Amino acid sequence: MTILDRTRTEIAASETHPSLGSAGAAEVSPVTATLYRVTFGDDIVGYIDYVEPLWIAYRGTRSDLAVESGQHRSMVLALRELTARA
């Protein structure tokens, strides 16, 4: 099952690897086939866009105004970047 098979996916901190840090408490929701909204608690912290072969992390509450904060080879690394300061 992929993340697109679910309408919302919550990564419970108790079920994740310790290396994820606070990313384990983030919720990732698909917006489109390649764009995902990342929330931490009740706050939108940013978006992750898949542009092959990279996962691009954007900070901001609106996808059209979010600012790129990094490019990564995996979604987990992009997620960790967005939640590191959340």
Tokens of 50: 């898949």
For the entire predicted model, the pTM comes to: 0.72
How do the domains of the chain map onto residue ranges? 3-83
pLDDT confidence of residue 40? 83
- Residue 39: which residues within 8 A CB-CB, separation 6 or more? 26, 27, 29, 45
Query: What does DSSP assign to residue 56?
Result: E
Tokens of 35: 């764009």
Give mean pLDDT, residues 78-85. 85
Q: Is the pLDDT of residue 56 over 90?
A: yes
Give mean pLDDT, residues 20-49. 84
Query: pLDDT tens digits, residue range 20-34?
Result: 455 557 889 999 999
